[in-house]
Amino acid sequence: MTREKRLLLALPALSAVALPVAGQSQEKGGSKPYNIVYIMSDDHSYQTISCYDGSLNRTPNIDRIANEGLRFTNSFVTNSISGPSRAAMLTGKFSHKNGMTTNATRFDSTQVTFPRLLQNAGYQTAIFGKWHLKSEPGGFDKWDVLVGQGFYFNPVFIVPEGRVTREGYSTDIITDLSLDWLEKERDTTKPFCLIIHHKAPHRNWMPDTKDIDLYEDMTFPIPDNFYDNYEGRPAAAGQEMSIAGDELDYAFDLKLNSEDIRTRLKLNLDFAIKRLDPMQRKEWDRVYDSVLTDFRNSNLTGKELAEWKFQRYMKDYLKCIKSLDDNIGRVLDYLQENGMMENTMIVYTSDQGFYMGEHGWFDKRFMYEESFRTPLVVRMPDNASEYGKRGDVTEMVQNIDYAPTILDLAGVHVPNEMDGESFLPLLTGKKVKNWRKSLYYHYFEYPAEHAVRRHYGVRTGRYKLIKFYGHDIDNWELYDLQNDPREMNNIYNHPSYAKVQKELHRELVKLAKQYDDPVEKNPIQN
Ligand SMILES: [Ca+2]
């Protein structure tokens, strides 16, 4: 498509011109314009996706997307937390530019987003599931989203007319809504962009009753840095997201439901399980009453207690992943059975990565690898032969690239104001010059839950430089990811890395300037 045509498609007043063409090809299940099905979960670690790491569990349906398409092995976020990540994904911009710096911020949903641009170009756009941006969704023909974080069981949704409670399990319901829209509601003469945002596997990891017995007999390996002492890393030492500590709440997170276990988040557990209907509650109590009995009888302390907590955390988390993977399979089957694989791009990702006990943690936020990275698998439309690459994409991509990529595939002009880049050129089989060699990151949410200090940084193929700043901290960290992939040794000011350190400082200043982050005005050179 020529640049002129792309510009025309992007103009709202002319969008009708594009529709008859779009309709013809859609009816035949032909090629352009391509549809987009974008599936994103909440807090899904790549460690628990078998096409990335098969040591913990199996995810055959997510693997199927990778096996028939692409697995991105260097996929990252810009700010590892829910609302900011969602805003970066929608706008193609860093947090300081789209305004959504923390979960406490309200997203201005009137700004330019890829769904709005697609809508203007004649696409039908829909979003189901988690929104978590406080404002009403904008740029969607259809939206049906969870209230805030949402509930796992019998959740409440917001629709333009008000609130509606739906019976069942959130991952099933969000998939049902999405498939119903595809089957019954969408205008089949138009191309579409369907966004499916799951609540799972967010804390407090409440499994569906059908999966509630899974993994109960399994023992998962403890990560080799589970007992990290955080030497040389004051921000890591100061976090409050330790599995061994009280932050992994005995009531809310471990589901020990007893009047004598009155923890900080006990009321959250009461609130969550009150939503279960009698049948759901019967299954719930059968499993978690038995866990409570085991907890009381074993009378654990110290390392044994920490490892018992780790095992409970892993079991509940992985139970939620089972339902997620099953429901992704339902979407793939629908698209396959309806001849839509030819002209539909399918994306699966998470709003960020997550710790599965590495450094002793659950949660995210840090620029360390487990939460800076995010899984990304993509199945390109079969008819998009110009993007014929399959297998691994090893270049560094970031969630700000999703909007430009999707617009590029749709033939819609990518606004210059977006920070991200379309990664479609990486899929053509031709060598791409000038693809980014470094990534920028900035996390803002402190003081807040989990006490992760504000930080920004740069990551290259081999090294990472991080500055923790504000309040009670002012500290640099430097890692050699080749020699220290677990990021245990802060080598900042180590003489043998002096040259690397200087280059990374220069790169960080360059990126802050390139992305207009005001942090550049601060004295970030030492
Ligand atoms: Ca999240």
> What pLDDT score does 172 carry?
98
Residue range 21-49: mean pLDDT, rounded = 76
Percent of the chain with pLDDT over 70: 93
Q: Are 189 and 30 in contact (CB under 8 A)?
A: no
Whole-angstrom Cα distance, residue 500 to residue 464? Answer: 10
Distance 238 CA to ligand 1 centre (A): 21
Distance 338 CA to ligand 1 centre (A): 32
The pLDDT confidence band at residue 23, using thresholds 50, 70 and 90, is very low
Residue range 438-457: mean pLDDT, rounded = 97
Give the alpha-carbon dihedral of 275, 278, 282, 285, to 10 degrees.
Answer: 30
Spell 455-479 as b/e; 16+ CB within 10 A means b.
bbbbbbeebbbbbbbeeeeebbbbb
The pLDDT confidence band at residue 305, using thresholds 50, 70 and 90, is very high
Distance 429 CA to ligand 1 centre (A): 33
> What pLDDT score does 101 carry?
97
Work out the number of other CB atoms within 10 angstroms of the CB of residue 165: 11
Distance 190 CA to ligand 1 centre (A): 32
> What pLDDT score does 521 carry?
59
In sequence order, what are the beta bridge partners of 455? 443, 468
Q: Are 519 and 442 in contact (CB under 8 A)?
A: yes
> What pLDDT score does 518 carry?
82
- Compute the Cα dihedral for 225, 231, 233, 238 and give only its sign: positive
Q: Is the pLDDT of residue 332 over 60?
A: yes
Predicted confidence (pLDDT) per residue in 80-92, tens digit: 999 999 999 999 9
Q: Is the pLDDT of residue 523 over 50?
A: no
Distance 9 CA to ligand 1 centre (A): 33
Distance 39 CA to ligand 1 centre (A): 14
CATH number of 440-514: 3.30.1120.10
> What pLDDT score does 498 carry?
98
Distance 81 CA to ligand 1 centre (A): 5
Whole-angstrom Cα distance, residue 394 to residue 401? Answer: 15
> What pLDDT score does 13 carry?
37
Whole-angstrom Cα distance, residue 148 to residue 197? Answer: 13
Distance 494 CA to ligand 1 centre (A): 35
Give the alpha-carbon dihedral of 259, 262, 265, 269, to 10 degrees.
Answer: -10
Distance 63 CA to ligand 1 centre (A): 21
Whole-angstrom Cα distance, residue 187 to residue 67? Answer: 31
HSE-up of residue 149 (Cα within 13 Å, Cβ side): 15
Distance 475 CA to ligand 1 centre (A): 26
Whole-angstrom Cα distance, residue 29 to residue 340? Answer: 6
- Phi and psi at 235, nearest 5°, equal -65, -40
The pLDDT confidence band at residue 495, using thresholds 50, 70 and 90, is very high
Distance 49 CA to ligand 1 centre (A): 16
Distance 369 CA to ligand 1 centre (A): 15
Cis previous bond, 447, omega within 30: yes
Work out the number of other CB atoms within 10 angstroms of the CB of residue 210: 14
Predicted confidence (pLDDT) per residue in 113-131, tens digit: 999 999 999 999 999 999 9
CATH number of 11-205+317-429: 3.40.720.10
Distance 142 CA to ligand 1 centre (A): 23
Residue range 294-301: mean pLDDT, rounded = 97
Q: Is the pLDDT of residue 525 over 80?
A: no
Distance 82 CA to ligand 1 centre (A): 4
Spell 221-245 as b/e; 16+ CB within 10 A means b.
ebbeebebeeeebbbbeebebbbbe
Q: Are 370 and 47 in contact (CB under 8 A)?
A: yes
* Tokens 């991952």 found at: 171
Distance 345 CA to ligand 1 centre (A): 23
Distance 208 CA to ligand 1 centre (A): 19
Whole-angstrom Cα distance, residue 371 to residue 478? Answer: 17
Reported as type and span, the H/E element at residue 511 is: helix 498-514
- Phi and psi at 347, nearest 5°, equal -120, 135
| Average model confidence (pLDDT) across the chain | 93
Distance 443 CA to ligand 1 centre (A): 13
Distance 519 CA to ligand 1 centre (A): 25
* Domain spans, the chain: 11-205+317-429, 234-314, 440-514
> What pLDDT score does 31 carry?
61
> What pLDDT score does 24 carry?
39
Predicted confidence (pLDDT) per residue in 47-78, tens digit: 999 999 999 999 999 999 999 999 999 999 99
